[in-house]
């Protein structure tokens, strides 16, 4: 049997998925690699750790399967900064997509990009997590290291490609996250590169996702135990790969890994860009992936699991018991800030409405539900049409999380049979088309569904009002946006502002706020309190019930 081997370089582990010629996964192994968290929002990984994980994972494959590998495809995290010297060696650890230190270096970069008309070229508003912002941070914080940099790569898999083939390259999806690519032409924009003062020689070539970028070098083949001269297909960034691998065109796809996202594929319409969410270049030319990403999804669950000292399966069982009488506790999943449907890298999370009678099952439930509500917020921001959600990533293996997502979104959630292999499936589909291997028919995506979760009765009938919080710095408005069922009393105290009393009355207690009329809005899906303009306490809170809306303005 011939094997197409996909390297899926995620945030916490490198997964190897071996696909047979029929497109079915024959074996999956993984090797973990560490992340270093640094005060101030730093998130770093050693690129050599990625290579070590690749060697370890290959060693876990049966020798006969390694000998049967006929081609390799690559997928992995993007919007990183992987700084390399002239010999292709890392100058320092890579800054991950979630590294928020670039926020301090972003304002002057933003000014230059906006002056050059960047949004229309990029198809997106420039963002503080774009690779170009990270590189400007490096130039300011570590000028000596920055001077040694000869190449900057956005994709973790781009570094693997260099180690495998000796060639520098990236793909259009990963290049989108640099903040300098013309999304319609899929080339670096010379005016934008000039506007930010970047040497264009630092940027790698952008090659199509299905390009064969080279063959496996003898030294790499020896280290991995794979046949020499295997063709290596470029592949693409993880969000593009998972959407391409898991969902049909136009279908909503939710990924729950360390981070998370809501995404869908659509034909690219440059005239409609930018949108309120992110648009990535699709693996296919002429198409785009619309995506609303969360910085913290499975990472929040892992964080609580470490604190609780229990495995996910144990916590899930306890959360299922708590689901009989849903806890009122609300988790705000902003442990590393947030990027959609708003951007605030300084915002941090919280557990609200804790009760002394609650156990860890109730708190685990709150963490899962908080992420589910964040996904709902992003679905609303994308104005997603009714339809099912295809759920992939490690979170799809949870016993209760898919059901909470179905409840929060009001949509049927389809859980993949191999939730952690769907990103690699995108890599397989790209490489199979390039190499002339059989491409799995569309119906196979449905054949790989393990179970479906049907939304239960509206959360407002099962739960007491739930809150969800976000930040919107620099704006001076408190807004209450409605949900589906009447809310008769509101009593919230947070950040020095209180809104209380019968619906239709509001009592601001912070000096300088004044009441504005309530109005009815029966089409909204959540009540949103957006308290803006005060660092650390400028938050927005979502209540999943109510018809009315109130706005308080400073």
Q: Is the pLDDT of residue 496 over 80?
A: no
- SS3 letters for 22-45? CCCEEEEEEEECCCEEECCCEEEE
Among 199-213, 247-261, 517-531, whose mean pLDDT is lowest?
517-531
Q: Is residue 123 part of a domain?
A: yes
Among 39-43, 458-462, 540-544, whose mean pLDDT is lowest?
540-544
Distance CA 121, CA 111 (A): 15
Distance set, CA 229 to CA 226, 408, 429 (Å): 9, 49, 21
Parent domain of 134: 3-240
Q: How many helices (H) and strands (E) does the chain have?
A: 18, 32
Tokens 């050693």 belong to: 46
- Residue 553's beta-bridge partner residues? 477, 514
Q: Is residue 544 part of a domain?
A: yes
pLDDT tens-digit profile of 30-48? 999 999 999 999 999 999 9
Distance CA 341, CA 292 (A): 7
Decide which of 241 and 554 is more confident. 241
Q: What is the DSSP letter of 205?
A: P
Alpha helices in 6-124 (DSSP H): 47-59, 63-67, 106-115, 118-122
**What is the token pair recorded at 366?**
């709150």
Q: What is the DSSP letter of 504?
A: T
Q: Is the pLDDT of residue 115 over 50?
A: yes
Q: Is the pLDDT of residue 458 over 60?
A: no
When pLDDT is cut at 50, 70 and 90, the band that residue 541 belongs to is: very low
Q: What is the DSSP letter of 59?
A: H
Q: Is residue 261 part of a domain?
A: no
Distance CA 1, CA 375 (A): 41
Q: Are 527 and 483 in contact (CB under 8 A)?
A: yes
- SS3 letters for 309-371? CCCHHHHHHHHHHHCCCCCCCEEECCECEECCCCCECCCCCEEECCCCCCCHHHHHHHHHHHH
What pLDDT is attached to residue 381? 85
What pLDDT is attached to residue 341? 87
3 state SS of 166:
coil
What pLDDT is attached to residue 446? 57
When pLDDT is cut at 50, 70 and 90, the band that residue 214 belongs to is: very high
Among 84-88, 118-122, 272-276, 367-371, whose mean pLDDT is lowest?
272-276
What pLDDT is attached to residue 143? 98
Domain boundary among 180, 213, 240: 240
Q: Is residue 549 part of a domain?
A: yes
Q: Is the pLDDT of residue 119 over 60?
A: yes
Distance CA 401, CA 394 (A): 11
Q: Is the pLDDT of residue 210 over 80?
A: yes
Buried b (16+ CB within 10 A) or exposed e, 80-92: bbbbbeeeeebbb
**What is the token pair recorded at 541?**
């809170």
Among 56-65, 334-343, 369-378, 492-501, whose mean pLDDT is lowest?
492-501
Q: Are 370 and 328 in contact (CB under 8 A)?
A: no
What pLDDT is attached to residue 123? 96
> What's the total number of domains in the chain?
2
Determine which helix (DSSP H) or strand (DSSP E) holds 492, and give its type and residue range: strand 489-494
Distance set, CA 533 to CA 487, 494, 538 (Å): 26, 14, 6
3 state SS of 210:
coil
Decide which of 475 and 390 is more confident. 390
Distance CA 428, CA 406 (A): 29
Among 190-199, 309-318, 441-450, whose mean pLDDT is lowest?
441-450
Q: Is the pLDDT of residue 7 over 80?
A: yes
Decide which of 214 and 345 is more confident. 214
Strand 514-515 relative to strand 497-502, pairing = unpaired
Q: What is the average per-residue pLDDT within 169-193? A: 98
Q: Which residue from 32, 37, 39 is spatially nearest to 12, judged by alpha carbons?
A: 32
Q: Is residue 228 part of a domain?
A: yes
What pLDDT is attached to residue 441? 60
Q: Is residue 447 part of a domain?
A: no
**What is the token pair recorded at 139?**
């130039």
Q: What is the average per-residue pLDDT within 185-199? A: 98
pLDDT tens-digit profile of 397-426? 899 999 999 999 999 999 877 778 889 999
What pLDDT is attached to residue 418? 77
Q: Are 305 and 316 in contact (CB under 8 A)?
A: no
Q: Is the pLDDT of residue 491 over 70?
A: no
Q: Is the pLDDT of residue 554 over 60?
A: no
Q: Is residue 443 part of a domain?
A: no
Distance CA 108, CA 254 (A): 34
Q: What is the average per-residue pLDDT within 522-540? A: 27
pLDDT averaged over the chain?
Answer: 82
Q: Is the pLDDT of residue 287 over 90?
A: yes
Assign residue 82 the CATH number of its domain: 3.30.420.40
Q: Is the pLDDT of residue 479 over 50?
A: no
Q: Which residue from 64, 54, 63, 67 is spatially nearest to 16, judged by alpha carbons?
A: 54
Domain boundary among 200, 222, 240: 240
Q: Which residue from 306, 79, 39 is spatially nearest to 175, judged by alpha carbons?
A: 79
When pLDDT is cut at 50, 70 and 90, the band that residue 548 belongs to is: very low
pLDDT tens-digit profile of 217-276? 999 999 999 999 999 999 999 999 999 988 778 888 899 999 999 999 999 999 999 988
When pLDDT is cut at 50, 70 and 90, the band that residue 450 belongs to is: confident
pLDDT tens-digit profile of 390-404? 998 889 889 999 999
Domain boundary among 210, 240, 270: 240
Give the distance from CA 488 to its chain's centroid: 36
Helix 360-381 and helix 401-409: axis angle, to 10°? Answer: 40
Tokens 């295997």 belong to: 230
- Residue 90's beta-bridge partner residues? 84
Give the HSE-up count for residue 396: Cα atoms under 13 Å, Cβ half-sphere.
Answer: 28
Q: What is the DSSP letter of 308?
A: H
Q: Is residue 531 part of a domain?
A: yes
What pLDDT is attached to residue 542? 33
Beta strands in 100-167 (DSSP E): 151-153
Q: Is the pLDDT of residue 16 over 80?
A: yes
Q: Is the pLDDT of residue 528 over 90?
A: no
């Amino acid at each position: 049997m011939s094997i197409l081997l996909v390297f899926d370089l995620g945030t916490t582990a490198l997964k190897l998925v071996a696909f047979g010629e029929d497109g079915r996964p024959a074996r999956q192994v993984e090797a973990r690699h560490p992340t270093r968290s640094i005060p101030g929002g730093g998130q770093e990984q050693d690129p050599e750790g990625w290579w070590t994980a690749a060697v370890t994972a290959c060693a876990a494959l049966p020798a006969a399967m390694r000998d049967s590998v006929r081609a390799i495809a690559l997928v992995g995290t993007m919007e990183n900064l992987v700084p390399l010297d002239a010999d292709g060696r890392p100058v320092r650890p890579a800054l991950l997509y979630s590294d928020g230190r670039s926020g301090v270096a972003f304002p002057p970069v933003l000014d230059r990009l906006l002056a050059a008309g960047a949004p229309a070229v990029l198809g997106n508003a420039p963002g503080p997590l774009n690779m170009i912002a990270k590189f400007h941070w490096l130039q300011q914080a570590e000028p000596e290291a920055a001077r040694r940099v000869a190449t900057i790569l956005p994709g973790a898999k781009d570094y693997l490609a260099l180690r495998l083939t000796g060639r520098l390259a990236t793909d259009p999806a990963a290049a989108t996250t640099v903040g300098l690519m013309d999304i319609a032409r899929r080339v670096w924009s010379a005016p934008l590169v000039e506007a930010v003062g970047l040497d264009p020689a630092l940027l790698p070539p952008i090659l199509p996702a299905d390009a064969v970028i080279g063959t496996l070098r003898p030294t790499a083949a020896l280290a991995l135990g794979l046949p020499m001269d295997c063709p290596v297909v470029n592949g693409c960034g993880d969000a593009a790969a998972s959407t391409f691998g898991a969902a049909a065109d136009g279908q909503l796809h939710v990924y729950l890994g360390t981070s998370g996202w809501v995404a869908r594929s659509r034909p690219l319409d440059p005239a409609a860009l930018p949108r309120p969410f992110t648009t990535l270049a699709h693996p296919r030319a002429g198409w785009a992936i619309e995506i609303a990403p969360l910085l913290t999804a499975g990472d929040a669950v892992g964080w609580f699991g470490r604190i609780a000292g229990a495995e996910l399966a144990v916590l899930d069982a306890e959360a299922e018991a708590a689901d009989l009488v849903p806890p009122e506790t609300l988790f705000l999943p902003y442990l590393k800030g947030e990027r959609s449907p708003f951007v605030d890298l300084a915002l941090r999370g919280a557990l609200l409405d804790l009760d002394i009678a609650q156990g860890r099952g109730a708190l685990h439930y709150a963490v899962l539900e908080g992420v589910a509500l964040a996904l709902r917020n992003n679905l609303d921001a994308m104005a997603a049409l009714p339809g099912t959600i295809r759920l992939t990533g490690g979170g799809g293996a949870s016993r209760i999380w898919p059901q909470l997502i179905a409840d929060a979104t009001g949509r049927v959630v389809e859980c993949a049979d191999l939730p952690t292999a769907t990103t690699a499936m995108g890599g397989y589909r790209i490489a199979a088309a390039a190499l002339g291997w059989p491409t799995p028919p569309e119906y196979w995506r449905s054949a790989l569904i393990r179970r479906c979760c049907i939304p239960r009765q509206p959360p407002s009938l099962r739960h007491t009002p739930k809150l969800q919080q976000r930040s919107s710095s620099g704006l001076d408005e408190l807004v209450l946006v409605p949900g589906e069922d009447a809310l008769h009393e509101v009593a919230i105290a947070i950040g020095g502002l209180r809104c209380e009393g019968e619906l239709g009355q509001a009592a601001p207690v912070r000096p300088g706020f004044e009441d504005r009329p309530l109005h009815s809005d029966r089409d909204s899906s959540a009540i949103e309190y957006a308290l803006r303009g005060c660092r650390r306490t400028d938050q927005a809170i979502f209540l999943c019930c109510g018809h009315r809306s109130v706005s308080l303005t400073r």
